[in-house]
Amino acid sequence: MLHTFKAAQEVGNYEDVPVLPADVDPQLYMSRNAVAQPFYLICGKDTVVVQMSGTADMHLKESSVRRFHMAVGDHVYVPAGTPHRVVPSEEGVQLRYRARSAGLEGVAWYCPGCDRELYRSEWDTAETVSQQVYFDACVAFNDDESLRHCPDCGAQHPRIDLEPFSCWLPLAQHLRDELLTS
Q: What is the mean pLDDT of each run of 10 residues along the chain (182 residues)?
A: 74 88 90 96 96 97 95 97 98 94 94 97 86 91 97 97 86 50 50
What's residue 5's pLDDT? 76
| CATH assignment at residue 135 | 2.60.120.10
Q: What is the pTM of this model?
A: 0.89
Beta strands in 36-134 (DSSP E): 40-43, 47-51, 56-60, 67-70, 75-78, 84-88, 92-98, 104-110, 117-124
Instruction: Give the torsion sign (CA, 4, 104, 146, 113).
Output: negative
What's residue 177's pLDDT? 54
What's residue 169's pLDDT? 77
What's residue 12's pLDDT? 86
Range of the domain at 149: 4-181
Rg (C-alpha) for the chain, rounded Å, is 16
**Whole-number Å distance between alpha carbons of 65 and 90:** 22
Contact 108, 39 (CB under 8 A): yes
Q: In what order do the strands lie in the sheet with 84-88?
A: 67-70, 56-60, 84-88, 40-43, 104-110, 117-124
- Inter-CA distances, 83 with 25, 27, 111, Å: 22, 20, 14
Q: How many domains does the chain have?
A: 1
